[in-house]
Structure 1
Amino acid sequence: MGTVTPFPLGAKPNQIGFDRLELTRILDLYGRMVAAGHWRDYAIELGRDAAIFAAFRRSAERPEYRIEKRPALRQKQGEWALIGEHGAVLKRGHDLGPVLAPVERRLMKLIEE
C-alpha cells in the first residue's frame, strides 16, 4: 500500500503565480497594446519571491514595463508594482487596476495618434 503524505497547511508556496483574474487583466492590456502596434512580445517569470510579467517592444531588448506581484510586500507598500524600462518603480499599490493605470493612459494616447 502507498504512503499518504499530508498536505502542508500554512507552508510558504514554492512558487508565486498570478491567479486567473489577474492574468486575464494583464493579458487583456497586453492584447490591446499589441493591437495598437506597440508591444510585440512578453515573458512571464514565476519565482519564489515574485511573479513577473514583462512586456517588450521588440524581443531583443529590455522590457518596456514589468508588472510584479510580491506578496511579501502586501502589508507594507502593496504587492503590485509597475517597473519601467530602466528599473524605476513607476507605480506601486495594493490593487492591480491602479497600478496598470499609467499603461492604460499611454494606450489611450497611442490610439488617439
Structure 2
Amino acid sequence: MTDQPDLRRGESRSAESSSSVVVDLKEYKQSKDPAPVTFHRRELDAILWIYGRMVGEGEWRDYAIDHLKDRAVFSVFKRSGEMPLFRIEKNPKLAAKQGAYCVINTHGVILKRGHELQQVLKVFNKALKLVEK
C-alpha cells in the first residue's frame, strides 16, 4: 500500500530513505475542497424580511438558496416550476471592486450592486404614488 518497492528478505529501510510528513487533516481538506460561500445570519434575516413582505403582498411564493464555491445565491420564484424572478447573489471576489452583493432579474440584468446588502435590497422598496381625490 505504499509507493515504495517491496523489501527483499532480510532488508530493512533506513531512516534516511523513508520520510514521514505530518499533514494537518483540516488544512488538507480546506486546500482540496474549500468551504462554499454562505449567507451569514444577519444577511439571511434581511433577505427573509423582504421575502416575507413580498409573500404577504402575493408577489412571491417560493425561494431557493444555493451555496456554491464562488458565490451564494438566494433565488425568488412566483411559482416553483419557473425561472426565478430575482436572484440575490453574494460574490466575495467582487467585494473590493463593485461590491459583493447584487440583485439580478429573470433576464440576467443586474438591477443593483453594492457593498452593503441593505442598500442593494432597497431595489425592492415600493415607490410611492400620488393619489388624487
The equivalent residue for 1:96 is 117
Where in structure 1 are there 5+ consecutive unaligned residues? Answer: none
1:40 to 55, 58, 61: 61
TM-score (norm 1): 0.83
SS in 2 for 1:99: helix
Q: Give the deviation of 1:7 after TM superposition.
A: 4.8
The equivalent residue for 1:67 is 88
SS in 2 for 1:29: helix
- Give, as a single letter, the amino acid of the residue that structure 1 aligns with 2:37: I
Where in structure 2 are there 5+ consecutive unaligned residues? Answer: 1-22
1:2-41 matched pairs, under 5 angstroms: 5=24, 7-8=26-27, 13-41=34-62
Q: Distance in 1 between matches of 2:109 and 2:59?
A: 20
1:64-99 Cα shifts (integer Å, max 9, x gaps): 110000000000000001001111111100000111
CA RMSD of aligned residues (A): 2.4
More helix by share: 1
- Give the number of equivalent residue pairs: 105
Aligned residues with identical type, % of pairs = 47
TM-score (norm 2): 0.71
Larger radius of gyration between Structure 1 and Structure 2: 2
